[in-house]
């Protein structure tokens, strides 16, 4: 009977082993990649930027690159040997590439053999993963990808008779028992690699006789069923090797990236010895926190390899002389971009189940630009510190969020959820739903300009006090920021100076329901109440939602839903889904062009003129400040020829900051734009637009050379008809000249 029960129990354990070992062994997180850096002649990429990208990818600098992931610099040339990489549209093979730079960026691009290249894509860095609930992360590696010196070190330290025993090593148990008795404490374990794998793979950490018996039986079953190399591969992918916040680092594949920022097959002897050293205790021997302790353990691993004849003393001596080589966590290519990855995750949820995102090893290719993100993080940190110092605020008082977009394609290139880069807490860029203040005004003015028979840039608006009563009898009396009324002002000046009274009167004339409908066309999806206060920004949006609205302005009236994802493939690289650019024209090009010229005026002469302290006059940009009641929220949204950025500054406790849009968010926005070196707007007017000379204050038609004359854009047919005194005088003079010419012909 006992034999029968025992046999049934062994069969049960055998079934458990089979299901786990032959099924899906691990829940492999989706891997999220940044954009690949594209090199081509004329690309506005500096030598320093390419060097930073190569370092981010873990390339080693050498005298002459002869193997993948190596690079060198010679004057204005950079030469590198790329890694092969499986993109969504095929494999980019490893090759040597030479890049020559000039003052404008990439001057030429050739192969190592001198053949001209039109385009080359570097492999994209990993910026994060979408984890399962237990927060384990791993990069699976095959047995063939395990370096020989890693396997030699692993067996020397953990299981020297791995290829001889059948799951249990009685000799190893005896040796460990003797060593422990001599030391008076546990200094050596007798478990084989197979037993360690079984303990991690199938069993709980409890210490009991039953668990030890189960471990031994299951180790024998595993050895009977599977090849040694299969067992070694499973062990190499399962073993725990460290912690990155709440993310557990499992397997040598991910540990190579985590500690050295390069794939496992590129590691050298002294580096793989350190990984094996961590098996004794990843926290105790953490090389970033305890470098000397980690070095001693690494050197012991090398000594054990020498004792067992798998390494020469000379090779061990050279390896011991090498530094640990662990990368600075802040400079790792795989640095977590938690704020951006959260945006990716939310967009993926529309098409994938959560369990697929956290277990199937999907490969997500995104629009993320690591270089732009670095500029954003640096400028936000420096800008906030400067504001706090100038206003004598305790460090850390202010918070910020920012979104950076490529406006024509609607691609989100960088995103900061707060001043602490990489912090996995509250993501203000996505979830700080704050009143947007005067950022709403361009939408109101664009709606007006879309009716050229009623409104042009010089249409006079009444900036006079008004009182509005709601359905409950409460009276609302809006005021300008300067507490003054400015009388009749042309429309373009009302927006440039952000006059509240003129805007409210304009919005009421257009109709609140029309304004709400127009916001929908611009991409605002939240519920919007058609109340007069809406016209001054009584609408709460996140920075990302503001960026969606302003993307229409920056793209000339074409709306592209903001996207963070380009392609999704399965673990083997087979394409699953594309996320192409979607474009819909929601506003005519003519009115949008007029609005953009007005937003240029905001930056040149209006509330946004502080931008000019950071950017030269040759770089034309457009933008708008936003400030909310009590100076609680400071906003700036603006764009150049190639970038759209939205910045918010405020406090998490919603107390006042003492900052307007011009004194808080604007300096941060301008610092970011300066770092990005943007292209000027340089907009070409559409066919529906003509430029005529007008008096900007009166709106009367005039001529070049007349006092105060400015060439302003108008929708064709809406040009002013009333002529200025200067134009009338010139016309009369021209008439006399024409009469005399006809008289004496």
> Any idea which residues carry the catalytic annotation?
158, 438
How far apart, in Å, are the Cα atoms of 735 and each of 176, 705, 724, 727? 114, 18, 16, 12
DSSP assignment string, 529-559: ---GGGGGT--EE-HHHHHHHHHHHHTTSEE
| Residue 152: count of CB within 10 angstroms of its CB | 19
Do the Cβ atoms of 87 and 38 come closer than 8 Å? no
- Those residues with Cβ within 8 angstroms of residue 643's Cβ, 6 or more apart along the chain or in another chain: 404, 405, 406, 407, 413, 673, 676, 678
Q: What b/e string do you get for 336-348 counting C-beta neighbours within 10 Å, with b at 16 or more?
A: bbbbbbbbbbebb
Q: Which two tokens stand for residue 154?
A: 């692993």
How far apart, in Å, are the Cα atoms of 29 and each of 23, 79, 130, 364? 17, 34, 5, 11
| Residue 409: count of CB within 10 angstroms of its CB | 18
Element (H, E) at 77: strand 77-81
Do the Cβ atoms of 74 and 87 come closer than 8 Å? no
Tell me the backbone φ, ψ of residue 541, rounded to 5 degrees.
-135, 160
**What's the full length of the chain, in residues?**
745
DSSP state of 687: T
**Residue holding tokens 């009274």?**
501
- Those residues with Cβ within 8 angstroms of residue 612's Cβ, 6 or more apart along the chain or in another chain: 603, 604
Say whether 660 sits in a helix, a strand or coil. Answer: coil
Say whether 364 sits in a helix, a strand or coil. Answer: strand
Give dist(CA 112, CA 81) in Å, integer: 9
């Amino acid at each position: 009977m006992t034999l029968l029960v025992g046999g049934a129990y062994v069969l049960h354990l055998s079934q458990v082993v089979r299901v786990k070992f032959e099924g899906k062994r691990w829940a492999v997180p989706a891997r999220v990649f940044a954009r690949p850096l594209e090199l081509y002649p004329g690309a506005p990429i500096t030598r320093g930027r390419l060097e930073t990208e190569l370092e981010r990818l873990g390339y080693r600098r050498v005298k002459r690159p002869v193997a993948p992931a190596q690079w060198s610099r010679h004057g204005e040339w950079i030469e590198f040997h790329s890694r092969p990489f499986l993109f969504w549209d095929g494999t980019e093979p490893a090759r040597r590439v030479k890049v020559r730079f000039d003052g404008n960026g990439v001057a030429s691009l050739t192969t190592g053999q001198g053949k001209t290249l039109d385009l080359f894509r570097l492999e994209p860095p990993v910026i994060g993963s979408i984890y399962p609930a237990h927060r384990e992360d791993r990069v699976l590696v095959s047995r063939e990808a395990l370096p020989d010196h890693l396997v030699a070190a692993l067996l020397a330290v953990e299981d020297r008779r791995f290829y001889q025993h059948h799951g249990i090593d009685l000799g190893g148990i005896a040796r460990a028992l003797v060593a422990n008795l001599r030391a008076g404490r546990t200094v050596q374990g007798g478990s084989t690699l197979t037993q360690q794998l079984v303990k991690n793979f199938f069993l709980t950490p409890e210490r009991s006789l039953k668990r030890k018996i189960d471990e031994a039986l299951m180790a024998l079953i595993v050895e009977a069923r599977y090849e040694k190399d299969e067992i070694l591969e499973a062990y190499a992918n399962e073993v725990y090797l460290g912690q990155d916040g709440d993310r557990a680092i499992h397997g040598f594949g991910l540990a190579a990236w985590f500690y050295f920022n390069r794939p496992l097959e590129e590691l050298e002897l002294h580096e793989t010895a350190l990984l094996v050293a961590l098996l004794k205790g990843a926290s105790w021997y953490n090389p970033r926190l305890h470098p000397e302790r980690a070095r001693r353990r690494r050197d012991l691993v090398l000594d054990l390899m020498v004792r067992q004849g798998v390494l020469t003393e000379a090779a061990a001596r050279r390896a011991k002389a090498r530094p640990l080589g662990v990368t600075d966590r802040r400079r790792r290519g795989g640095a977590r971009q938690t704020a951006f990855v959260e945006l990716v995750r939310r967009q993926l949820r529309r098409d994938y189940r959560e369990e697929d995102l956290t277990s199937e090893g999907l490969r997500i290719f995104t629009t993320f630009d690591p270089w732009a993100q670095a500029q954003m993080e640096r400028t936000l940190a420096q800008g906030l510190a400067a504001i706090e110092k100038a206003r004598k605020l305790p460090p850390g008082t202010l918070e910020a969020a920012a979104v950076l977009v490529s406006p024509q394609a609607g691609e989100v290139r960088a995103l900061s959820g707060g001043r602490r880069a990489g912090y996995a807490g509250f993501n203000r860029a996505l979830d700080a739903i704050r009143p947007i203040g005067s950022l709403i005004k361009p939408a109101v003015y664009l709606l007006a300009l879309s009716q050229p028979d009623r409104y042009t840039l010089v249409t006079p608006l009444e900036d006079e006090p008004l009182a509005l009563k709601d359905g409950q009898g409460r009276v609302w009396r809006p005021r300008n920021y300067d507490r003054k009324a400015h009388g009749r002002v042309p429309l373009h000046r009302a927006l440039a100076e952000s006059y509240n009274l003129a805007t409210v009167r304009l919005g009421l004339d257009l109709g609140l329901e029309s304004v709400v409908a127009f916001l929908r066309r611009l991409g605002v999806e939240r519920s919007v109440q058609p109340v007069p206060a809406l016209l001054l920004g009584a609408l709460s949006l996140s920075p990302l939602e503001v960026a969606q609205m302003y993307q229409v302005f920056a793209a000339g009236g074409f709306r592209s839903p903001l996207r963070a994802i380009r392609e999704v493939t399965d673990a083997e690289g087979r394409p699953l889904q594309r996320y192409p650019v979607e474009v819909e024209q929601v506003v005519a090009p003519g009115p949008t062009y007029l609005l953009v010229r007005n937003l240029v005026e905001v930056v040149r002469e209006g509330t946004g003129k502080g931008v000019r302290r950071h950017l030269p006059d040759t770089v034309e940009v457009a933008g708008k400040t936003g400030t909310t009641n009590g100076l609680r929220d400071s906003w700036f949204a603006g764009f150049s020829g190639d970038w759209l950025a939205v910045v918010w500054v405020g406090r998490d406790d919603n107390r006042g900051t003492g900052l307007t849009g011009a004194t808080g968010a604007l300096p941060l926005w301008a610092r970011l734009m300066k770092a990005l070196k943007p292209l000027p707007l340089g907009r070409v007017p559409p066919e529906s637009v003509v430029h005529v000379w007008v008096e900007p204050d009166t709106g009367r038609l005039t001529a070049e050379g007349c006092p105060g004359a400015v060439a302003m854009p108008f929708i064709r047919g809406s040009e002013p008809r009333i002529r200025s005194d200067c134009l009338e005088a010139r016309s009369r003079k021209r008439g006399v000249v024409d009469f005399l010419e006809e008289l004496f012909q």
